[in-house]
């Protein structure tokens, strides 16, 4: 039996009865198939250009998916774990708090994958719930793990169910990643396109919050906002181009980004880690914090 198929894989004696029962839910695996065109669409969606042929032309000898493509296959499987068992659950009050992606194997540029999702940790924050879902994505034919995602969702108004209030140490997935007290080793700026969200949504996240002004207004925004996983991908591209390949990336979403704004990623290399912060230049506001990658080759120096 695979770990995610064991109903008791994530049992915790500190959990309330409500959480304990829902942690036992084992949804059916969800298939995900993609072709080279989908990889190009994603790479374009996080700002790759026509000059970067290894990311935008399938005929390039080094054609590849950017590493954060690993967040795309998880979407359909996350919906297999409903949250309506939480007290006073309202999907309009759900926020994406943190994301961790581990790249376990080289990313195919096309393929047939299968993803499985489980509740990893559920915390009672009294006025809210913090829910971490783990999603494992495998190659359908070989069974080899390609990606592991851990998505932490913050659900306002859904607390008060008892049990744990603080989560366990999950290594790189829960690290605080505080920048060291020195100037960054590298800084990259990139202006997003006003069409960035309209393009990125074609990779699977079709939430109208990112395209419909009327829907964005209901959420309290002046205009549609950029997907958090889109600006995570842009920042991940900044780190990749500066320090090279990495095997995992973790971010905390600190604020909104509007399509057309400029993202500034400040990076500090600390051993095998690159800690980074991404902010919006026009409003001097934090977009990503507590963020870091683990480099494949820790000896890599910044390409400035």
Q: Write out pLDDT tens, residues 246-284.
A: 999 999 999 999 999 999 999 999 999 999 999 999 999
pLDDT at residue 53, rounded to an integer:
98
Domain boundaries, the chain: 14-169, 186-295
Contact, 71 vs 229, CB < 8 A? yes
pLDDT at 304: 64
61-93 in b/e form (b: 16+ CB < 10 A) is eebebbbbbbbbbbbebbebbebeebeeeeeee
The third-level CATH classification (topology) of the domain covering 186-295 is: Thiol Ester Dehydrase; Chain A (3.10.129)
CATH class of 14-169: alpha beta
**pTM (predicted TM-score):** 0.96
What pLDDT is stored for residue 93 in this prediction?
87
Residue-wise pLDDT tens digits, 44-100: 999 999 999 999 999 999 999 999 999 999 988 998 999 999 999 988 888 999 999
pLDDT of 1 higher than 60: no
Known catalytic membership, residue 238: no
Name the phi and psi angles at 153, rounded to 5: -110, 140
Same fold, 14-169 and 186-295: yes
Task: Give the tens place of pLDDT for each residue, 2-39.
Answer: 679 999 999 999 999 999 999 999 999 999 999 999 99
Whether residue 228 lies in the annotated active site = yes
Coil, strand or helix: which one is 1?
coil
From the candidates 225, 234, 275, 277, which is the catalytic residue?
A: 225
Q: Which of 204, 228, 233, 244 is catalytic?
A: 228
Torsion 254-117-134-33 (CA) sign = negative
What pLDDT does 3 receive?
Answer: 79
Predicted pLDDT of residue 20: 96
- Is 96 annotated in the active site? no
Q: How many of the other CB atoms lie within 10 Å of CB of 198?
A: 14
- State pLDDT tens for residues 178-195: 999 999 999 999 999 999
pLDDT confidence band for 220 (50 / 70 / 90): confident
Burial of 218 (0-12, 13-18, 19+ CB in 10 A): exposed
Under DSSP, the state recorded for 5 is G
Determine how many CB atoms are found less than 10 A away from the CB of residue 157.
Answer: 15
Answer yes or no: 205 catalytic: yes
Query: How far separated are the first and last CA of the chain, in Å rounded?
Result: 47
- pLDDT given at position 300: 83
**Which DSSP string do the residues of 146-206 spell out, in sequence order?**
EEEEEEEEEEET---S-S-SSPPP-GGGT---PPPSS--SEEEEEEPPTTHHHHHGGGS--
pLDDT at 2: 64
Annotated catalytic residue: which of 210, 227, 238, 254? Answer: 210
User: Catalytic residue among 45, 205, 238, 248, which?
Assistant: 205
Task: Please tell me the predicted confidence (pLDDT) of residue 301.
Answer: 83
């Amino acid at each position: 039996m695979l770990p995610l198929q064991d109903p008791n894989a994530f049992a915790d004696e500190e959990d309330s009865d409500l959480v304990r029962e829902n942690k036992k839910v084992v949804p059916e695996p969800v298939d995900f198939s993609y072709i080279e065109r989908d990889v190009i669409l994603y790479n374009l969606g996080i700002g790759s250009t026509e000059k970067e042929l290894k990311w935008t032309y399938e005929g390039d000898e080094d054609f590849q998916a950017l590493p954060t493509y690993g967040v795309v296959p998880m979407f359909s499987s996350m919906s297999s774990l409903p949250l309506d068992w939480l007290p006073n659950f309202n999907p309009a009050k759900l926020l994406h708090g943190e994301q961790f992606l581990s790249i376990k194997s080289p990313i195919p540029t096309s393929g047939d994958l299968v993803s499985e999702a489980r509740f990893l940790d559920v915390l009672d924050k009294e006025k809210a719930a913090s829910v971490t879902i783990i999603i494992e994505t495998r190659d359908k034919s070989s069974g080899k793990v390609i990606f592991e995602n851990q998505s932490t969702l913050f659900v306002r108004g859904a607390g008060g169910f008892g049990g744990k209030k603080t989560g366990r140490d999950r290594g790189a997935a829960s690290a605080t990643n505080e920048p060291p007290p020195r100037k960054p080793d590298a800084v990259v700026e990139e202006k997003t396109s006003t069409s960035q969200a309209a393009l990125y949504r074609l990779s699977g996240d079709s939430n109208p919050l990112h395209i419909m002004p009327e829907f964005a207004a209901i959420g309290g925004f002046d205009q549609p906002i950029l997907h958090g996983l889109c600006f995570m991908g842009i920042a991940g591209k900044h780190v990749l181009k500066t320090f090279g390949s990495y095997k995992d990336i973790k971010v905390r979403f600190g604020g909104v980004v509007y399509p057309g704004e400029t993202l500034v990623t400040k990076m500090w290399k600390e051993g095998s880690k690159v800690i980074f912060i991404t902010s919006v230049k026009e409003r001097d506001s934090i977009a990503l914090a507590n963020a870091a990658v683990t480099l494949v080759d820790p000896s890599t120096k910044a390409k400035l």
